Copies of this chain bind each other. A is one copy, B any other.
């Protein structure tokens, strides 16, 4: 299994629901990508006992983290600490691609 991943080779889309793919699962962290087409939503949810973050690779998302709602574009890291509600909507006109990590990964 390689230790090198170019995110552009892991883009995908899913009409039914946003696209998810896992890149790597270790003992302490899971890495993946989420791709949301315009208007697609990841509903607000929380992870008990795991810190999560998103990193915006392309596009524009409206992120909810706890009580905070904020737009973020390419180059922004967004933290969802353990137990904090979080979600995102693609509010741009193009694909929203996110690198995501959950530590520890959900097994």
Contacts and interface: CB of A to CB of B under 8 A. Distances in A.
A72 interface: yes
Interface residues of A, number: 37
Contacts of A26: 51, 79, 81-82, 103
Interface stretch (A1-9, A12-20, A38-46, A87-95): A1-9
DSSP majority for the A interface? strand
Given A31-B53, A101-B29, A4 B70 contact: yes
A37 B72 CA distance: 28
A96 interface: no
A72 B101 CA distance: 20
Given A55-B55, A101-B101, A103-B104, A77 B27 contact: no
